[in-house]
Each structure stands twice: as C-alpha cells, then as structure tokens.
Structure 1
Amino acid sequence: STADDLQNDLAKELPPGIDVEIDEQFDAMFSYKAKNYALLTKDGDVIIKGGALKSRGLEKFQRVFLEEMIKLIMQRKPEAIVDLRNEFEQKIRNREWKIDMLMKTDTLQDSLDKYRSKIAAYARNRAAVYELALASGRNYKPGDQISYYIKATPKKVPAYESAKLASEFDPKNRDENIDYYLAKLDELVKKFGGLATTASAQKQETLAF
C-alpha cells in the first residue's frame, strides 16, 4: 500500500536502528498556515488543529460553517460551498437556530473599574461584554464569562450598544439582528473564499491530467 511504501522509503533514508511507524491515516489534509490544518478521517469527520481555524472569537454557526466548508474542500467539492452558504443564510433569515448558534461567550480580562479607566483615558474601545457587565449591576470579576447576542435595532448602532444577554433571549419573540449575522457569514466566506478558489483550480488541473 502507499502507506507501507512511504514507511519503507523513509526507513531507507534514516540511520540504522531508527524505526518508522505509521500512527494514523487520513483521507485528506487541508493546510491553512503553519501549525493550522484540518484532517479528514475515513468516517468523514473533520479534525481541526490550530487557533486560526477554530477561533474562540467566532460564533458557533461560524465555526460550524468553517468546518463544513473545509470538509467540502478536502472532499474536492469546492463548488458546493455556494449551496452551503445559501443554506446558512436561509437558516439565519428564517430564524431556525436556537440562540446558542448565534450567541458569543466572552471572558472578562480586566476588572470593571479598570475597563472604565481605560475608556476614560481613550486607551481602549468599548466592548459588548463589559458594557453588559456594567449594565447588569452585578459584581463581575476578571475570568467571569458572559454570553450574549446582537439584537435588532431601529437604526444601525455599534455592536456594544445592541448586545443583549443570551439568558434574556425569548424564542417566542425573537429579536436577533439578521443583517448583522448575515454580514458575519459573508466575512467568513470572504476571509476563506480564496481557499475554495484554489481548491477549485487544483481540481480542474487534476481533471485535465
């Protein structure tokens, strides 16, 4: 097999006494940048390694979309990414997801007093997680986590002004900002869209041979 051939070829190049063992085999590998890659198992599961491809700063729906997009690239189906994006858009527009797909969970790094001081000194920008903590009146401390989403507003305002605690979300009276989340989806497509283009070109080259 190819794996056995690789193992034997490597063994020939290494000094005597060093054995080469095949740990695992995967159907495909997707490399984004150094130490950031994805693997496709024989069962069709995706294993992602590296912070660039599984950023905690992404909402869950973005992480799911990114994983599905990378899977399509590894399966040599980049043309299906358009349908995937449209599917996610419809779910956002139709408000099909539970709030855990849209909400974001951030951790307080600074105390609320330190945040106030930095804002007063123009040393940092306002952030939704801190504004929610201040508005709550609770004694939040560094290390505490707050889950929130962006609600719809009559006019466009910064995210920190339209953030709402996920615990206050009412599934019977949904108020998430559809345009905001569609923009988030498009940001992701734009950021990683070049990967799909490259994969499509590679597929065409393979077919040409």
Structure 2
Amino acid sequence: MYFVPPSSVEAGVSPAKRKSHAADAAATTEEIAELQKGLAKELPEGIEIDFDEQFDAMFSYKAKNYALLTKDGEVVIKGGALKSRGLEKFQRVFLEEMIKLIMEGKPEAIIDLRNEFEKRIRNREWKIDMLMKTDTLQDSLDKYRAKIAGSARNRAAAYELALASGRNYKPGDQISYYIKATPKKVPAYEAAKPASEFDPENRDENVDYYVAKLDDLVKKFRSLTDVASAPKQESLAL
C-alpha cells in the first residue's frame, strides 16, 4: 500500500540538497515520523503498518503498473505494461528515462530525449544488443507450420529463423535477432537476421525500422506526457 502525504510534508531531501539543507532534512524526518504516528491512530485496533521505504515521486500508469523515484534518483518500475519483454532494450531504456523525466517534473525534455535516441540509432552508435529482440518459442516447429497452413496465426520472425536454420528447435528455446536493411520494404519476419550473424564492421540494421519503433512507443505512451502537464504529483512515503 502506498500513502501520499499532504503537500506540507516532503518525502525526503535529494542528495544534492542534503549538505546545504541538513536542518531541513532533520525537520522533514520528524514530520514524517509524526505523520506515520497519526496514520497509525486512524487504523482499527490491532492493525499495524510498517513503513518500508520513502520515495520522492510516484507515477501511476494504470492498475498494477507504476513507477517510483527513489531518493537516489533511481527508477523502480512495476508492471508488465511499463517493462514489457516484447520491447527491444533501447525501447525499455527510453521508456524508463521518459518516466524519470516526468517524475522529476521535466516533461519538456522528452522531445530532446527522443531526438537523442534517434541520433544514436541513425549513427549506429549502439551495440546490437540494444536493438535485437529475443523471443521464446512457445510451439514446436511442426505446430507452427500447421497453424500457418490453417491461417490460425501470423508468421513470426523467431519461428521463420528457426525453420531456416535447419536445427531442431523446441518449445522453450530462445532466438535473438534483429531487423536488417532490405532493398525494398518487406515484413519484419522476412528481414529478420540472427543476432549471432551481426557484423559490427559491416552494420546492416534497418535504422528507419528502429526509428519508427521509437516513434510508435512515444505515441503509445503519449498519455504519460499528458499526465505530466497536470498539477505536480505529491511526494509520498511507503
């Protein structure tokens, strides 16, 4: 359970302020202690709450999906919607940094963050592990073939690579791949290439594809910036 105190009580003092505001930090600690005692008095007899940790800010995306900003500036993300395994690493990093900017009250910096990520993609600055995707096979290759033949599912890059490899992949096996550049636009599963075959001296990743994925992520979570434009969220204690 998370408790949001009134605006008169701060959750803590950031590391940058501690040296010059030691007295304020002490006062804040006392205020929080009094707040906790007051909350305990409101609870039914026999029920006690332990306060495990304090956070400088909280961002709530939807039920069971939220982020917390620690006093040390670290971001803690909870919930599959905000850290989906279906995202490439660069998308997860971007999402975390975007949420941090929102919790720090700097939503105007998100556009610069997006532009910086595009620059790194187009300049091919990242190692392939930032762009590659790792999928776990859920079906056997025979079952996958049968589903495709019966129009029961769409083709998928990981399965197509598994079939092309000639190896006996089984459910539970993982395949890492990236999307290479092609002369003309083709479905992603046709442009997929095993990450193990990536040559850093002759890079061939499809930069336009990854920039488009970056923009799709920005559009998907546009509501985050809408929330950021609302009145500043209160500090909170746990």
Number of residue-to-residue matches in the alignment: 205
Q: In structure 2, what is the equivalent of residue 192 of structure 1?
A: 221
Higher share of residues assigned helix: 1
- Indicate whether 1:163 and 2:192 are aligned: yes
* 2:110 aligns with one of 63, 72, 81: 81
- Indicate whether 1:14 and 2:59 are aligned: no
| Residue segments in structure 1 that go unaligned for 5+ positions in a row | none
TM-score normalised by the chain length of structure 1 = 0.94
Q: In structure 1, what is the equivalent of residue 135 of structure 2?
A: 106
Q: In structure 1, what is the equivalent of residue 7 of structure 2?
A: none
Larger Rg: 2
Contact 1:149 / 1:165 at 8 angstroms: preserved in 2?
yes
Summarize the alignment of residues 125-204 of structure 1 with structure 2, pairs less than 5 Å apart.
Answer: 125-203=154-232
- Over residues 111-158 of structure 1, what are the superposed CA-to-partner deviations in whole Å (9 max), with x where a residue is unaligned? 000000000011100000000000000000000000000000011000
* Deviation, structure 1 residue 7: 1.3
Instruction: Supply the distance in 2 between the matched residues of 1:4 and 1:66 (Cα, whole angstroms).
Output: 34
SS of residue matched to 2:77? strand
| Residue segments in structure 2 that go unaligned for 5+ positions in a row | 1-29
The AA in structure 2 aligned to 1:181 is Y
Instruction: Supply the distance in 1 between the matched residues of 2:33 and 2:65 (Cα, whole angstroms).
Output: 27
- Indicate whether 1:64 and 2:86 are aligned: no
Contact 1:30 / 1:74 at 8 angstroms: preserved in 2?
yes
Instruction: Supply the distance in 2 between the matched residues of 1:57 and 1:16 (Cα, whole angstroms).
Output: 46
TM-score normalised by the chain length of structure 2 = 0.83
Q: In structure 1, what is the equivalent of residue 16 of structure 2?
A: none
SS of residue matched to 1:53? coil
- Indicate whether 1:31 and 2:75 are aligned: no
Give percent identity, aligned residues only. Answer: 82
* 1:44 aligns with one of 37, 50, 73: 73
Instruction: Supply the distance in 1 between the matched residues of 2:162 and 2:48 (Cα, whole angstroms).
Output: 57
Contact 1:79 / 1:200 at 8 angstroms: preserved in 2?
no
Instruction: Supply the distance in 1 between the matched residues of 2:187 and 2:72 (Cα, whole angstroms).
Output: 43
Instruction: Supply the distance in 2 between the matched residues of 1:28 and 1:201 (Cα, whole angstroms).
Output: 14
The AA in structure 2 aligned to 1:199 is A
Instruction: Supply the distance in 1 between the matched residues of 2:117 and 2:57 (Cα, whole angstroms).
Output: 25
Instruction: Supply the distance in 2 between the matched residues of 1:29 and 1:198 (Cα, whole angstroms).
Output: 12
Instruction: Supply the distance in 1 between the matched residues of 2:178 and 2:116 (Cα, whole angstroms).
Output: 21
SS of residue matched to 2:37? helix
Instruction: Supply the distance in 2 between the matched residues of 1:10 and 1:72 (Cα, whole angstroms).
Output: 31
SS of residue matched to 2:230? helix
Instruction: Supply the distance in 2 between the matched residues of 1:62 and 1:96 (Cα, whole angstroms).
Output: 15
* Deviation, structure 1 residue 16: 2.6
SS of residue matched to 2:178? strand
* Deviation, structure 1 residue 79: 0.4
The AA in structure 2 aligned to 1:6 is L
Using a 3 Å threshold, how does the CA distance of structure 1 residues 22 and 181 change in structure 2: closer, same or farther? same
